[in-house]
Amino acid sequence: MLGVIFVFLSNFVFAANEGKFFIVKGNVQIENGKEILKAKVGASVSAGDVIVTDVDSRAKIVMVDKNVIHVSPSTRLKIETYKTTGADKNVNLNLIEGKVRNDVKQKYDNKNSKFEVRTATAVAGVRGTRFITSFDKANKVTQVITVSGKVEFQSITAANTGNTNTSGVTVEAGQKSEQKESNNPSAPIVLPPTEMKQIETEATVKKG
């Protein structure tokens, strides 16, 4: 009987933790609705948590399904939903402000299974790729830069109403698109390789 209880509790603990901090630099906090915790390497991340990085602080989070989240300085990111198995495989990240890079290892069809980064004004959805999303809260500008793969980018209004045919754009590898407040995303532009490399480097959290 004790063995059964131990297995049950072990599975519960594993299920409740969707990821762990792999790298923490500077002042990084976890807000879980009940308390504010100082993030450290090995600390768990769960759905509902808000990751907050101070100026000159950053973090790398490795999720249970091997997806990786790089959180840049001056960022607030909420893990709204993180379901990794079955028909309900669904990831919803709320970028309140700042910048994140996502290295998406899993495959999503953007229909039955989704990986989305949402801001107050836009939604970026992927199938499996590496991309950078930033949100300027003061100016209400969302930007998407695709490192590899493709990102479906649309306004939050279009996403909520399902009207994706007339307003969304596909941001290919090496391209950038911006969306300002209630407008539709801009036509993607190709970034020079040197600029692309610099942007990718700045958004990647590494040891040392």
Residue 71 CA to residue 81 CA, distance in Å, equals: 17
Q: What is the DSSP string of 80-147?
A: EEEE-SGGG-EEEEEEEEEEEEEE--S---SSSSEEEEE-SSEEEEESS-EEEEEEETTTTEEEEEEE
Beta strands per DSSP E along 43-89:
44-45, 50-53, 58-63, 68-71, 75-83
Percent of the chain at pLDDT > 70 equals 89
Cα Rg of the chain, angstroms: 17
User: How does the average pLDDT of the chain come out, rounded?
Assistant: 89
pLDDT reported for residue 165? 56
Q: Which helix (H) or strand (E) holds 37?
A: strand 36-38
**Chain segment 24-42, per-residue pLDDT in tens:** 999 999 999 889 999 999 9
Classify burial at 207, counting beta carbons within 10 Å of its beta carbon; exposed 0-12, middle 13-18, buried 19 or more: exposed
**Chain segment 131-168, per-residue pLDDT in tens:** 999 999 999 999 999 999 999 999 998 888 766 556 79
- 98 forms beta bridges with 135
pTM of the model: 0.88
